């Protein structure tokens, strides 16, 4: 094993453990970025659905059947994002995917949502050379995320849950619940009563 390979392996291990690493540490990951392909996607006419699907296949780590992703969208890499079948993402969706973002089937995401796997240390000395840490995000099947939501590193959102507009999700959300707020908290379970209502909750729409 070469010195450079040993160094890469060390940095990958630090990233996987959620430890702080720097821009210089992670420079070898740059070829995994899909900046040009994302630019091309965002400038492809909406009527050319075939080309958009082709480009998504080049950009994302994996993509299921019948994806809809409205332009523009943004990603740190793109190649660390995995989406399932029947995905719908509205405009200005941002993936900060320094590590993996995994999205299940039937997920709907409203405008101007940010999914960020990466944060930064509190002390400024540890932010030298863009010091940061990364933890994967998992969004399970049939989740609905409202407008202007931010999902923070390491969060899992459970099957069927609804995240209300404007929420900041800093901890896991259980399946089949409505969660809202800053910080985002569960306000109730989703039940069969919701089959006859218009909104997720009387007080908070998902957006």
Catalytic site positions:
120
Asked if 58 and 78 touch (Cβ cutoff 8 Å), the reply is no
Q: What is the largest CA-CA distance in the chain?
A: 63
Distance, in Å, from the CA atom of 176 to the CA atom of 188, rounded to the nearest integer, reads: 9
- DSSP 3-state assignment of 4? helix
DSSP summary character for residue 158: -
Helix (H) or strand (E) holding 144: strand 144-145
Asked if 148 and 113 touch (Cβ cutoff 8 Å), the reply is yes
């Amino acid at each position: 094993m070469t010195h450079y390979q040993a160094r890469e392996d060390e940095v990958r291990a630090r990233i996987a453990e959620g430890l702080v690493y720097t821009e210089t540490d992670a420079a070898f990951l740059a070829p995994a970025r899909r900046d040009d392909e994302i630019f091309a996607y965002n400038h492809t006419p909406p009527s050319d659905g075939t080309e958009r699907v082709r480009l998504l296949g080049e950009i994302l780590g994996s993509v299921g059947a019948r994806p809809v992703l409205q332009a523009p969208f943004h990603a740190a890499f793109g190649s660390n994002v995995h989406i399932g079948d029947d995905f719908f993402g509205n405009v200005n969706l941002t993936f900060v995917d320094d590590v993996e973002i995994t999205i299940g089937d039937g997920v709907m995401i409203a405008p101007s949502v940010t999914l960020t796997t990466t944060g930064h240390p509190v002390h400024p000395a540890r932010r030298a050379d863009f010091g940061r840490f990364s933890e994967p995000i998992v969004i399970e099947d049939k989740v609905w995320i409202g407008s202007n939501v931010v999902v923070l590193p390491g969060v899992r959102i459970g099957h069927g849950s609804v995240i209300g507009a404007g929420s900041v999700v800093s901890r896991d959300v259980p399946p089949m619940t409505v969660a809202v707020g800053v910080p985002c908290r569960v306000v109730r379970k989703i039940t069969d009563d919701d089959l006859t209502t218009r909104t997720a909750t009387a007080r908070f729409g998902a957006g």
